[in-house]
Every structure is written in structure tokens, then in C-alpha cells.
Amino acid sequence: MKRFLLPAVLGFVVLLITVVSKTAEVKPPSTPKLVALGKQIYAQQCVACHGIGARGDGEAAYLLYPKPRDFVAARYRLVSTWDRVPTDQDLFDTISRGMPGSAMPSWEHLATEQRWGLVYYIKSLAEKPIKIRAQKMPAADGSGGEGIIEVPKPVPFDAAARARALELYKDACASCHGDTGRGDGAQDHCSLPPYSRGHSGKSDADE
Ligand code: HEC
Ligand code: HEC
């Protein structure tokens, strides 16, 4: 009987870990408690740059360019909607990843729940409520789109796509990357460091 106990316990632990890691990815609904948690983390971690009043004017802001975001004006950059408002997931991703090239760090080390708390707290500060509208595709000239931007599915890499790619490559890339993609194109400035990458699938060590 005892022999069966260990696999059973291990099986249960694996199941538990799977369940826990799955729930960690799920977006919790906004509750007053979660917003309060976000507010508390904001006061500890974000105020120095984004400011007590969240106007992007924290103590460190005068040293920074680009300036920290003003969460009251709420004009966001990393958005996936036509009307340029961030989805909850956009905010969560930005908070998790940071914004390379600016002082905005990644907060991936904060618990998932804390990051969702920050999303909901920051959203609650916007002077004009952040709303995601129903999806409307833009006109041919690109105007009038609303809601979430749908990214087209990648096309299959079939023979026709390959032929198109080769033609484009010859036209636009070969002058630097070389006819066969070895990074030995004819343009002078291509041979200065950083060298054009070979696209032959071989590493520098092979060349
Ligand atoms: C060291 C300074 C600093 C700290 C601390 C900081 N930020 Fe930022 N944050 C910035 C800067 C600078 C930007 C603007 C970057 C840009 O425009 O490229 C920014 C931008 C943002 C944005 C805007 C994203 C967009 O799409 O425009 C969000 C959301 C954000 N920060 C959330 C947070 C949260 C939440 C915290 C605390 C957990 C935090 N930041 C802490 C400097 C900081
Ligand atoms: C004017 C010269 C030039 C042209 C034209 C050019 N490239 Fe490049 N490319 C470079 C150089 C130089 C690098 C290396 C940059 C570096 O190491 O920072 C590079 C790097 C790359 C990389 C590697 C990026 C990475 O993460 O290492 C890819 C992929 C690439 N080019 C694709 C293309 C494609 C596709 C085209 C044609 C549509 C193209 N390039 C046209 C000069 C060029």
C-alpha cells in the first residue's frame, strides 16, 4: 500500500502546481480591495517618478526624459486599440515589461495580483474613464477605426511567399546583407561594425 503513496502524493503536487500556475495567469476582476492594494504599491514604488498626484511629476521626474506618464491625463503610448486607449492587458504588460529606453523599469518581480492592482488603480485615476469600444475596422484611408486592433494572421510560408520574399530581399536587403545572406553585401558602410548580420542561419563562429 505504502508503495502507491509516493506517486499519488507527487501526482497531487504536480496537479496543484499546474492549477496554481494557471490561476496566476488569469486576470482577476477589479474589486475595491484590489484597487486598494494597487494604491498601496503605487505609494511605495511609483510615486518617486509618477508623483503623489500621479501627474508624472514625482521627485525624480525633473531628471528624466522621456518624462514619466501622467496618469490623470492618461495619454498612453503602448496601446492595442485604434482609439489609442490602453486595454487592461496593455497596462499589465507595460508594467510587467517596463519601457526600454526610458527610466520605466520592469515590475515583473511583483506578484501578479499586485500588478493587476496597479492596473486598476492607475485606470481609476484617469480624468476621462478608459473605455474599450466595440471593434470597428478603419476606412481604407486608415481613419475611423475603433476598439481593439486585430493583427492579421501570419500568412503561410509557401512557395509563392518564398518567391515574393526572395524578390523583396534582392531589392531591399541584398545590398548590405549579400545575395546569399552572408552579410557580405556591396555597400561600404555595411562592412563597418556593427557588421550586417548573416541570414544564412550560421553563427559568426562558422564564418
Ligand atoms: C524610475 C522612474 C519610474 C518609476 C519608479 C516608475 N515609472 Fe512608470 N514610467 C516612467 C517613465 C519615464 C515613463 C514614460 C516612458 C516613455 O514614455 O517612454 C513611464 C511610463 C509608465 C506607464 C505608461 C505606459 C504607456 O503605455 O504609456 C505606465 C502604465 C507606468 N509607467 C506604470 C508604472 C507603475 C505602475 C510604477 C510603479 C510600480 C511605475 N510606473 C514606476 C518612469 C518610472
Ligand atoms: C543599409 C544597409 C542595410 C540594409 C539595406 C538592410 N540591412 Fe539589415 N542590417 C544592417 C546592419 C548593419 C545590421 C546589423 C545591426 C547591428 O548589429 O546592430 C542589420 C541587421 C539586421 C537583422 C538582425 C537584427 C538582429 O536582431 O540581430 C535583420 C533581421 C535584418 N538586418 C534584416 C534586414 C532585412 C529583412 C532587410 C531588407 C528588407 C535589411 N535588413 C536591409 C544593414 C542593412
- pLDDT tens profile 79-103: 999 999 999 999 999 999 999 999 9
Question: At residue 193, does pLDDT exceed 60?
Answer: no
Instruction: Decide: 28 and 34 in contact? Cβ < 8 Å.
Output: yes
Cβ–ligand 2 contact at 190 (below 6 Å): yes
For the chain, domains (ranges, CATH) are 25-152 (1.10.760.10), 159-206 (no CATH)
Collect all residues with Cβ–Cβ distance below 8 Å to 23 and sequence separation of at least 6.
Answer: none
Separation of CA 41 and ligand 1 centre (Å): 13
- Ligand with the closest atom to the CA of 126: 1
pLDDT at residue 116, as a whole number: 98
Pick the more confident residue, 25 or 132. Answer: 132
Contact criterion met (CB below 8 Å) for 71 and 42: no
Q: Is the CB of residue 156 less than 8 Å from the CB of residue 121?
A: no
Q: Is residue 79 classed as helix, strand or coil in its secondary structure?
A: coil
Which of 14-18, 129-133, 173-177 is predicted with the least confidence, judged by mean pLDDT?
Answer: 14-18
Q: Cell 556591396 sits at which residue?
A: 186
pLDDT of residue 49: 98
pTM comes to 0.68
Give the residue carrying C-alpha cell 515589461. 97
The per-residue pLDDT for 187 is 73
Residue 203 Cα to ligand 2 midpoint, Å, equals: 15
